[in-house]
Structure 1
Amino acid sequence: MPEPVRSPPMPPASLLQVRVAALACLLPLLLQLPLALALGFGIGSVAVVAASWRQPLPAVLRWLLGGTALLAVAAVMPGIGRDTACALLAGMLALKPAETFSLRDGRSLLGFALFAPFATFLLDQGPLSLLLALAGVLLALLALQQLAADEGGLPPRAPRQALSGVLRLVALGLPLALAAFWLFPRLPTPLWGLPQRNVAVPGLSDTMTPGQMFEMLLDDSPAARVQFIGPAPPPPLYWRGPVLWDFDGRTWRQARDLLALPPAPVQASGPSWDYQLDLEPTEDRQLVALDLPLQLPEDARLDHDLSPQAQAPQYNVSRWRMRSAAAAAFEPNLPPALRARALALPAGYNPRTLALGRQWRREAGYDAQGRTDAAIAERALAMIRRDFAYTLNVPPAGRNEVDDFLFDRRAGYCEHFSSAFVVLMRAAGVPARVVTGYAGAYRNPVGNYWLVRKSDAHAWAEIWLPARGWVRVDPTAAVAPERVYDTLADRRPGRIAGFDGLVPMFDAADWLRRGWNDFVLGFNAQRQQALLKPLGLARLGASGLAALFAMAALLALGWMAWRIARGERTRDPLLRAWHALEARYRRRGLGRAPHEPAQAWAARVGADVPRAGAPLASLARRFSDARYGAPATPAALRALLRDLRRHRP
């Protein structure tokens, strides 16, 4: 039985090029993984390349490294989802260079590496990910081109020529890519029904447990960008999200059974504000709106407590046109069932807080106008101003967390203040609930819009007063400035002390990201229809768009086939060099006729131009022998290519 043909080894220069290209493809994917995994895979890949530079690692060690990578992914990213799959891809790609030495190995590694940039887009579609992915793909194509030259025994091409060849290939597929982007029907859900991410991403939730917001408060990434149509409202800006009614002694939860009720009546006070809100992907239906929202688009709705919800999960950047206003009265008539719910407290929790609330009620009494309820709320705020401090350094919550906060620790952040305030109000007989969302926003002067970051996440309270209805009360804002010991700016990862001069650069970068979101990620079905409107095709349905895309794709594929057929005759480097030589003579009026053999043409040129006869005749003979005779050795072929390129009439 004949032995299998072994693939020749890669030259050292090609081996380096292949491994650099694989690492470049891996880089954008690493940036989307948890920091521990990204550092581990990145450092591991560099170490593997260094350790296996001259010879492959032992099989046992490779198996051990692969098992370690699997265990690391399972420990950091439990469960099954696209995050886990992408992390496993990154781990395997980081180890693959350890067994890459032959030309076949190099092609296998590069083919595997090209999956990494596309996996990146399952996790992030930002401009940085695109640029890094394009760089990785370009380097991989250059490396594949070099491997083909190595296999054919051809000399390495100059970097400029190699890059030009790859860019021509990219340009060949560009029409098809543009047709897919502009004409492919927009899908309401991710392609292939991809599962949601199984790595916790900081964001607003329908529950609130002490300590749950901590990670979000340290996240400087954008949550939303807001453009006001007309003047902006005066600060502070509160962005309303989930409203939490139910408390079990530890966790606050949204009242799901109230979501089907119509929005509570609101009597606006003063001017209203129109604005456009660009929301970052959340993968759920929860929206935010300036407190209090009055009007949302058709594909969104307001819950009974005016928490905004989208009709479908938001997997991509979404744009919403909204209207909000301050309220003179917000649900001034509270139904008995809702009143009972806004006063409910679990038995057996926080006895000291319940006793304090009942004591305040006995001391305040009752009146029909709600003045005593407002006085109780003001008494709680005065206590916070006098005795409480703001800090992020909070110990783990105990069973009676509200008691610990109000009577012992007296320090915390918004979750602790809002939860304790609402429990105290309910104990005193004042209907109350927790509202979560964002507080504040940063005005970007470059684009004249407002940036809401995830670190602006906040929780406040609403109490119900007769005739006025629900009234916002922010107990965290009552903390005296001199008692703010540990601020978000002190802990925020993006904080760079002493580099305030870089703020304009960050503003410009975020403005560019907003433009990217608008032009690329925000290209939805509505904008697709607007693009086709000048052509009279604005009312095409999904089937019409599919037919239009099929036509455009066929045209693009036909153009690609024509270009490939036209360039087929010049794919051979030897033939390409010979045609270039012919072109130089053609410009002197000595071109070769289509029917004329190479040596006959050289003899004719030599008769007309004796000085060119001998060199050209020698080149023509060598070209014919290499093209139609016995295969030339790699050294002879390189010498012939060099002489053809250097020859001038």
Structure 2
Amino acid sequence: MSATMGHALVLDRTSRHWALLAAVACVVPLLLQLPANLAWPIAAAGVATTALAWWKPLPAGLRLLLTLLVVGAVLGVAGLRFGRDTGCALLAAMLAIKPSETAKLRDARSLIGFALFAPFATFLLDEGPLSLALALAATVGALAALQRLADVESGDARFNVPLRTRLRSVLQLLLIGLPLALATFWLFPRLASPMWGVPGRAMAKPGLSNSMRPNDWLDLMSDDTPVLRARFFGATPRQDQMYWRGPTLWRFDGEEWTQPAWTRGLRAPRVQASPRQWDYELEVEPTDRRQLVALDLPLAAPGGSALIGDYSLRTERPLSSLTRWRMQSAAPLRNESQLKPALRQAALELPSGFNPRTLALARQWRRDAGSDDAAIVRRALAWIHGEFAYTLDTPPWGHDAIDQFLFDGKAGYCQHFSSAFVVLMRGAGIPARVVTGYAGGYRNPIGGYWIVRRSDAHAWTEVWMPERGWVRIDPTAAVAPERVYDTLADRAPGTDSVLGDFGGSLWNARDWLRRGWNDLVLGYDANRQSRMFAPLGLDRINGRQLAMVFGAVATLALMWMVWLSARGQREPDPVLRAWHRLGQRYGRFGLARESHETAAHWVDRVARAHPGLASGLREISHRFAIWRYAEPQPGTHDPRATKDLVRALRSHRPKHSNP
């Protein structure tokens, strides 16, 4: 069948199902990594398009309309900003409507070929083991579908082979290339830094940012997704001492707190550290931002980051992949005990026309306390402890949000407490600022490391006290325990499922496996590669040595591929294999059996050309003909007789002495 005829061939129903299922398998891992408000509409569009085009392709005008609608919907959700997630969403959307024109062999090949981009695009959004497993399964399914389409085009009756047989054939093909793939991963010289960058996300992932608005953390505080894992070397702080410092917010416009850009140009102030110090390593999940957290306070910025003026850490590159950071932190004794006038003014600034009751109360407290700043702080904390409650169920606030929280609602969570406390302190003339980050953590009993989740997001305050400098004050922690209604901070991950404690154990095991994956695969960088032969006594190997090792191992892997490919092409039946080799041995004398010749005709031709050379050939060819053609059903031969025939075929040699 010609290529043109094959491309014009209308698909049979089963082959079309193979192509569609292969495309679905390729798109699923990508949809799982897209935001839900994109993934569900794309999946619904794919189901609807497939149903409408089940019997015949849709008209061209309708296909164009579907394309415009899907692309418009994706850009409407993502905006006009282009990023990795936008491109992946567009790819998934186009694949969802591709079945509308899949009716012929060429269409099915195009669908599968384009669909194979989807599992690889998934790794732009997630590099976890689940994504890899789904991508591998999708690739196997796609290759099996392409193999069936090839059989259909060739007219080979074997295209109806059982699914198990076809999948085994594809897995054998993948096994051939596995050693070379592993050698490339482990041994191909890696660059210390990438030569090119990957575009960031257009749709931000949940996490810390350089701004904070009331009620914008509710989704974050109910999410158990890990943001970092910490391993301590030596002393470990208590859980209530684990304040993971992130962006510091100075500017307040009456509704939103932000971190001003000028803080990045400030040098970190002098800090007198206490003897309580911690040495630890952070494994930080990708956020596509540059904010890096550390135990309060970091003693120095690790390589690849900078410690800015308010002791926030900012990385040189966006955290678009898993990263590791070795740090040392200590509780401060004195933090910036001399405050510059410009910073004092920034830490006292409040917008005009907002929260008059709060400011009036702050001025009253100042008159009562005189110059005793500490008394005002104690009074505020005592008020919170006695009258306020912690809850995630808060109403939307109006223009004077701080007034409504302090005097009307008196219930909220960390965003409300920290924001109100700083406004109250500034109103009383005490420099104050909001610090965002994470508080606490969960110790995984499997592995003994600490996990900080998105639900651990927290906001606290720092007030400037004479001679002591900036002092951490957490007004949320001042709430009386009996007034904490629905906090998620102490909930063990996974235990809220129907499986209860067993669900928590499964969560622990899954995260431990994910950490192992991060360490073994995602954390395998140029530095670790250079030290991979340290157990053999080679501390480090340079790029040239590594290239030589890779070349040697890759050569062995290629030899393995050639050998397995040859094995895959050989005749599976041992009798036929021995018979073909017998013909090859006679081929050295120019008497190889032609493909159209029967055994008897071949023996006659050899006997006419060299009577002595064919001694014994007639008898053994007769035995082969009986074995091959006398039985009505192949496979009913006596196994012992078959082994004897194979042995005879292998041992027979042309007689050189009788040309």
Q: TM-score range by the shorter chain?
A: 0.7 to 0.9
Give the corresponding residue for 2:232: 228
The counterpart of 1:292, out of the listed 287, 297, 301, is 297
> Secondary structure at 2:443's aligned position in 1?
strand
Q: Is the 8 A contact 1:126 1:513 kept in 2?
A: yes
Tell me, yes or no, if the aligned pair for 2:497 and 2:503 is still in contact at 8 Å. Answer: no
Shift in Å, 1:134? 0.5
Mapped partners of 1:441, 1:348: distance in 2: 39
Deviations 1:68-87 (A, max 9, x none): 31222122211222211111
CA distances 1:495-517 after superposition (whole Å, capped 9, x unpaired):
42562321111100000001111
- Read off the aligned partner of 1:218 and give its amino acid letter: S
- In structure 1, C-alpha distance between the alignment counterparts of 2:548 and 2:366, rounded to whole Å: 70
Instruction: For residue 108 of structure 2, give the secondary structure of its aligned residue in structure 1.
Output: helix
Q: Which residue of 2 aligns with 1:336?
A: 341
Whether 1:301 aligns to 2:293 is no
Letter in 2 for 1:220: D
Contact 1:581 1:645 in 2 (8 A): no
Q: For 1:473 and 1:16, how far apart are their aligned partners in 2?
A: 63
Q: Is the 8 A contact 2:188 2:547 kept in 1?
A: no
Is the 1:267–1:328 contact (alpha carbons within 8 Å) kept by the matching residues of 2?
yes
Do 1:219 and 1:493's aligned partners in 2 also have CA atoms closer than 8 Å?
A: no
Distance 1:290 1:240 in 2: 6
Is the 8 Å Cα contact of residues 296 and 321 (structure 1) preserved in structure 2? no
Corresponding residue of 2:485: 485
Equivalent residue, structure 2, for 1:447: 447
Contact 1:219 1:492 in 2 (8 A): no
Root mean square deviation, CA, Å: 3.4
Aligned to 1:616: 628
Q: How does 1:397-546 map to 2 (within 5 A)?
A: 397-488=397-488, 495-496=496-497, 499-531=500-532, 538=540, 540=542, 544=544
Q: Which residue of 1 aligns with 2:126?
A: 124
Instruction: Note if 1:217 corresponds to 2:217.
Output: no
Give matches, 1:100-499, under 5 Å.
Answer: 100-154=102-156, 155=158, 156-184=160-188, 186=190, 192-236=196-240, 237-366=242-371, 372-488=372-488, 495-496=496-497, 499=500
Q: Secondary structure at the match of 1:538?
A: coil
Higher alpha-carbon deviation: 12-21 or 26-35: 12-21
Distance in 2 of aligned mates of 1:618 and 1:12: 40
- Equivalent position of 2:608 in the other structure: none
Paired residues of 2:531 and 2:541 also in contact (CA < 8 A): no
Give the deviation of 1:121 after TM superposition. 0.6
After superposition, the C-alpha distances for 1:352-387 in whole angstroms (9 at most, x for unaligned) are 211111110011101xxxxx2111111111221222
- Over alpha carbons, which structure has the higher Rg? 2
2 CA distance for matches of 1:647 and 1:88? Answer: 62
Q: Which residue of 2 aligns with 1:14?
A: 15
State the AA in 2 paired with 1:168. Q
Distance 1:647 1:102 in 2: 48
Among 65, 71, 85, the residue aligned to 1:83 = 85
Could you tell me how far apart the structure 1 residues matched to 2:445 and 2:30 are? 32
Q: Deviations over 1:79-126 (max 9, x none)?
A: 222211111111111122232222222211110110100111111111
Q: Once the two structures are superposed, what CA deviation does each residue of 1:283-312 show, in whole Å capped at 9, x if it has no partner?
A: 232211112222443333322322223333
Q: Supply the distance in 2 between the matched residues of 1:44 and 1:550 (Cα, whole angstroms).
A: 46
Which secondary structure does the structure 2 equivalent of 1:85 belong to? Answer: helix
Q: How does 1:582-597 map to 2 (within 5 A)?
A: 582-583=576-577, 593=585, 595=587, 596-597=592-593
**What is the CA-CA distance between 1:130 and the residue it aligns to?**
0.5
> Deviations for 1:148-183, whole angstroms, at most 9, x for unmatched residues?
112222213444442333223223333443344234
Aligned counterparts of 1:229 and 1:537: Cα–Cα separation in 2 = 23
Provide the rounded CA distance (Å) in 2 between the counterparts of 1:352 and 1:204. Answer: 31
Shift of 1:610: 4.6
Cα deviation digits, residues 122-143 of structure 1 (max 9, x gap): 1111111110011000100111
Check conservation: 2:288, 2:320, Cα contact below 8 A: yes
1:431 to 1:447, Cα distance in 2 relative to 1, 3 A? same
- Alignment pair present for 1:45 and 2:46: yes
Structure 1 distance, partners of 2:219, 2:70, is 26
Tell whether the 8 Å contact from 2:249 to 2:434 is kept in structure 1 after alignment: yes
- Alignment-derived partner of residue 653 in structure 2: none
Q: Post-superposition shift, 1:10?
A: 2.5
- How far has the Cα of 1:278 moved from its partner? 0.6
Alignment TM-score, normalising by the size of structure 2: 0.84
- 8 Å CA contact 1:245–1:255 kept in 2: the answer is yes
Single out whichever of 232-241 and 308-317 deviates more from structure 2: 308-317
Structure 1 pair 560/76, CA: closer, same or farther in 2 (3 Å)? farther
Q: Distance in 2 between matches of 1:645 and 1:513?
A: 53
Q: How do 1:560-639 residues align onto structure 2 when only pairs under 5 Å count?
A: 562=562, 566=566, 576=571, 581-583=575-577, 593=585, 595=587, 596-597=592-593, 599=597, 601=599, 607-608=619-620, 610=622, 612-614=624-626, 616=628
Q: Which letter does structure 1 place at the counterpart of 2:68?
A: G
| CA apart distance, 1:215 | 2.6
What secondary structure does 2:436 align onto?
Answer: strand
From the superposition, tell whether residues 643 and 209 of structure 1 become closer, same or farther in structure 2 (CA, over 3 Å): same
Contact 2:442-2:492 within 8 A present in 1 as well: no
Deviation, structure 1 residue 252? 1.8
Letter in 2 for 1:338: L
Cα displacement (A) at 1:334: 2.2
Determine the C-alpha separation between the residues in 1 that align with 2:314 and 2:279: 18
Whether the 8 Å CA contact 2:189–2:547 is kept in 1: the answer is no
Q: Percent identity?
A: 50
Q: 1:412-447: per-residue Cα shift (whole Å, max 9, x none)?
A: 211111011001001111111111100110110001
Instruction: Show structure 1 runs of 5+ residues with no match.
Output: 367-371, 620-638
CA distance in 2, matches of 1:497, 1:489: 20
Deviation at 1:191, TM superposition (A): 6.8
SS at match of 1:198: coil
Contact 1:421 1:475 (C-alpha < 8 Å) held by counterparts: yes
Aligned position for 1:92: 94
Q: Which amino acid aligns with 2:263?
A: L
Contact 1:179 1:549 in 2 (8 A): no
Query: Do 2:176 and 2:565's aligned partners in 1 also have CA atoms closer than 8 Å?
Result: no
Cα 1:353–1:146 change in 2 (3 A) is: same
What is the total number of aligned residue pairs between the two structures?
Answer: 612
Output the CA distance in 1 between the equivalents of 2:109 and 2:635: 30
Farther off after superposition, 124-133 or 341-350: 341-350
Shift of 1:535: 8.7
TM-score normalised over the length of structure 1:
0.85
Q: CA separation of 1:497/1:352 partners in 2, compared to 1, >3 Å: closer, same or farther?
A: farther
Cα distance change, pair 80–297 in 1 and its aligned pair in 2 (3 A): closer
Matched with 2:645 is none
Give the direction of change, closer, same or farther, for the CA distance of 1:647–1:30 in structure 2 (3 Å limit): farther
State the SS of the aligned residue for 2:306.
Answer: strand
